[in-house]
Amino acid sequence: MPKIGTLQELSTVLNMKEVNIVGVEIKVETIDNDFFQKNNIDKIKENNLFVWINALTMDDNKKLFAGFDDNTSLIKGADSGWQVILEKGADIIQTDWPALLSEHRNRWIREKTIS
C-alpha cells in the first residue's frame, strides 16, 4: 500500500501491474493538494483501491491531511476534523483516538440515515 500525494504518483501506482496494490494512503499537506479534492479521491476508488487517510497529529508543522487531524477534532470538535475526512470518502482513518472517532462516525451515519 503506497503513500501518494499527487495525481502523477497515482498514475505511477496504477501502472505498476506486477504489484498487487489494494489501496493507497494519501498525503495532503494543504487544501490545495490534489487529494484534498473529493473528485480525485473518487478516481482512486474508481480503480478499486481503498483510501487511507491519516488523522494523526505529528507536530504543529507536519500536516498529514491539511490539519484536519486528531488535535483539531479534539480541540475544535469532530466536525472540524474527522468529519472532513469522512466526507472526503476515507475508507480507513488512522487515529490515536479510535473510540471517539467511532462514536462520531456512528452518530454521523445515524444522522444521514434519518435525513
pTM: 0.91
C-alpha–C-alpha distance, residues 53 and 27, integer Å:
7
How confident is the model over 21-32, as pLDDT tens digits?
999 999 999 999
How confident is the model over 32-50, as pLDDT tens digits?
999 999 999 999 999 999 9
The domains of the chain are located at 3-114
The CATH topology of domain 3-114 is: TIM Barrel (3.20.20)
C-alpha–C-alpha distance, residues 14 and 71, integer Å:
33
